[in-house]
């Protein structure tokens, strides 16, 4: 078996605003395995400024993986605990290599019968006009669940946008999630959550920064808006620590980004622990290319979670890989009649 990797930089069609700044590019890494005439591919979706494995020796770790690929998937996963995005890339690559079709990791009605996965439409931060335009576009595309990034612009304007939505659509017609990315201070959080509760929100992601479990516990206990932990899960690798975090904070939901929390195995561990404590969850991509998104989506379908998932980011980039993944009427659909673009993949490990 031979292994290699390649860096790939995704370019956004439009600048994507978050409370951590505006994104124009997204770095990712492709891991390729070859054995005989077959190949397997996985994406190591490093997220600069957010991933626990955003370290200067990240590429050195990829070189180590390629040099020790004969250890196999399970041993590599255990050795890579501090590198969750590489754990996920390794999982994908081995599953891909074992499949007759390197892009078919979890055959199901999603891949074979075009059964859809409901997803939320993502609204990036911007001025009021830009955000309203995005909302109108998502509604026109058939989304009945939207997720709005808040916290980087004027909060009063963000509230005004939510007020406009609710004047036009009830919570039964449009589900609204918001994501603060930790933008609120503990001091102001409850006041802002109280204001937001007027708009029948499904949930708010990470209202305050991670790393303050006592304050987050207090908020989860009294917030009029259900709270979902997101960044709070990053960097926690031990199962006992995961269980303790959930037991301490008692959130209403957790949000699982496989690239940030150890791939399938790491995400499944969080799910098991959350369900023991009656905590809801859903799966979200983390700005991967269509290779990583495909790997997440196929697995997500097998989990049979009925909530809208956060899997619609593949269309954000100008240079993504063409794939069967298509967004239709607020759903992610796998179109079997559409082919994968394999030009760059064919140049790996040659």
Catalytic machinery residues: 149, 257
Beta bridge partners of 11: 25
Look up residue 336 and give its two tokens. 């079997």
Neighbours of 142 (CB within 10 A): 12
Nearest residue to 206 (alpha-carbon basis) of 260, 165, 128: 260
Cα–Cα distance list, 106 to 59, 92, 289, 310 (Å)? 28, 10, 18, 19
Question: For residues 294 and 325, is the Cβ–Cβ distance under 8 A?
Answer: yes
Please identify which residue in the block is written with the tokens 């699982």: 256
Distance, CA of 114 to CA of 111 (rounded, Å): 6
Tokens of 313: 């980011």
* CA–CA dist 68, 258 (Å, integer): 23
Return d(Cα 108, Cα 77) in angstroms, integer.
25
Give φ, ψ of 105 to 5 degrees. Answer: -90, -35
Which H/E stretch holds residue 121?
Answer: strand 121-123
Instruction: Quickly list H helices, 99-201.
Output: 109-112, 128-140, 155-168, 186-196
């Amino acid at each position: 078996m031979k292994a290699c990797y390649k860096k790939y930089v995704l370019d956004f069609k439009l600048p994507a605003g978050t409370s951590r700044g505006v994104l124009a590019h997204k770095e990712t890494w492709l891991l390729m395995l070859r054995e005989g005439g077959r190949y397997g591919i996985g994406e190591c979706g490093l997220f600069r400024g957010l991933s626990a494995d955003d370290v200067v020796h990240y590429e050195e770790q990829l070189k180590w993986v390629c040099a020790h690929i004969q250890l196999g998937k399970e041993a590599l996963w255990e050795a890579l605990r501090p590198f969750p995005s590489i754990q996920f890339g390794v999982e994908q690559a081995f599953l891909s290599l074992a499949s007759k079709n390197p892009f078919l990791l979890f055959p199901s009605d999603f891949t074979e019968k075009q059964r859809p996965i409901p997803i939320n439409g993502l609204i990036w931060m911007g001025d009021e006009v830009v955000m309203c335009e995005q909302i109108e576009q998502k509604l026109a595309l058939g989304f009945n669940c939207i997720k709005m990034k808040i916290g980087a612009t004027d909060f009063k304007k963000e509230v005004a946008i939510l007020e406009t939505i609710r004047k036009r659509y009830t919570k039964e017609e449009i589900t609204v999630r918001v994501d603060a990315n930790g933008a609120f201070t503990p001091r102001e959080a409850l006041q802002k959550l109280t204001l937001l509760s007027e708009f029948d929100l499904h949930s708010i992601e990470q209202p305050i920064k991670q790393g303050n479990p006592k304050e987050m516990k207090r908020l989860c206990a009294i917030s009029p808006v259900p709270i979902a932990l997101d960044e709070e899960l990053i960097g926690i690798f031990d199962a006992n620590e995961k269980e303790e975090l959930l037991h301490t904070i008692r959130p209403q939901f957790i949000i699982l980004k496989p690239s940030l929390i150890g791939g399938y195995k790491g995400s499944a561990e969080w799910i098991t622990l959350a369900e023991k404590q009656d905590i809801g969850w859903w799966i979200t991509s983390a700005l991967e290319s269509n290779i990583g998104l495909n790997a997440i989506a196929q697995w997500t379908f097998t989990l049979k979670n009925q909530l809208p998932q956060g899997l619609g980011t593949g269309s954000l980039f100008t240079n993504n890989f063409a794939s069967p993944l298509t967004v239709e009427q607020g759903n992610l659909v796998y179109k079997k009649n559409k082919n994968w673009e394999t030009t760059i993949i064919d140049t790996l490990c040659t």
